Amino acid sequence: MIKEIPNGVYPTMITPFTDDNRIDYGGVERLLHWYGERGVAGIFALCQSSEIFFLSFKEKLQLLEFIMEHRPTDMVVVASGHTASDTKTQIAEANAYIEQGIDAYVFISNRFAREDENDEVFIKNMHTIISSIPEICLGIYECPYPYKRIMTPSLLRSLLKTERFQFMKDTCCDLQIIKQKLDVLEGTYFKLFNANSATLLESLKLGCKGYSGVMGNFHPEIYSWLCNNYNLHEEKSQMVQDIIGFFSLAECQYYPVNAKYYLGLEGLGIGYHSRALNPEIFTDNRKMEIDQMWRLTHVIKELIQI
């Protein structure tokens, strides 16, 4: 039987690197336990935040193997690594990732068809690939790179017919579109997890099952609190929403370098090296902005008593 993916927060896991540009596995292990201590439902590994487009297949596979061996007990792991373009390679790599024992394999929506190809191509390639991998819970992720392919209600119905999809990382950032998707998914095991902080509270009220976004690398415990309490403490939940919505401007600052810097403030002992961005451009004033958010995060945690 395919395992049901629980509701809640799934941070998009970053990849720490050493000074010589290798994966910092000590940092990975500390990060896994940091997530686990903050009430997350699980993690989204090998996603864009993990810099998968800058990792070789061998590096991605070794990283996922390490994550599965060192994750906290009972931590749910959904993972992607879905970067290849041709279906043969996609199938081979998906099978290799699935063999590591992950709870769900997450496809990137722009990998099933090129930007100039229609939904028929998407559906055909999707069926070809999922028919060639084991019976495992599947997910879909509207990754913005190299282009963003938003899942329409029609495409969602096609995925529902397979009876295998349970996880969707939504990046449309539009409550009206989210509502249309939730209407399609209502009453099914296919759950929508919002990646957009500004719309999170309202999306939870509409039926969204949790959060999976980059800000889970800064203060996932606040997101966990909101997902667990939004319908119990209305006034406090709105206050928390106002704060995380504004804090999420950090996504546009210098991510993922700034998230790694923040995690250093949390005592994880990782640097802010990145393959996606030049860490030398992470200026002192930007560091000060993250310092200030880190201090304010602790004030907010005291206010909501977590």
Domain covering 8-303, topology: TIM Barrel (3.20.20)
139 CB burial (10 A radius; 0-12, 13-18, 19+): buried
Given this model, what pLDDT does residue 2 score?
66
Q: pLDDT of the chain along its 306 residues, tens only? A: 567 899 999 999 999 999 999 999 999 999 999 999 999 999 999 999 999 999 999 999 999 999 999 999 999 999 999 999 999 999 999 999 999 999 999 999 999 999 999 999 999 999 999 999 999 999 999 999 999 999 999 999 999 999 999 999 999 999 999 999 999 999 999 999 999 999 999 999 999 999 999 999 999 999 999 999 999 999 999 999 999 999 999 999 999 999 999 999 999 999 999 999 999 999 999 999 999 999 999 999 999 988
Per DSSP, the residues of 248-283 read: GGGHHHHTTHHHHHHHHHTT-------SSS-GGG--
Given this model, what pLDDT does residue 306 score?
81
Task: Return the domain boundaries, the chain.
Answer: 8-303
Given this model, what pLDDT does residue 24 score?
98
d(CA 202, CA 175): 8
% of the chain beyond a pLDDT of 90: 97
Structure tokens at 194: 């919002």
The H helix count followed by the E strand count for the chain is: 12, 8
Neighbours of 127 (CB within 10 A): 14
Predicted model pTM:
0.96
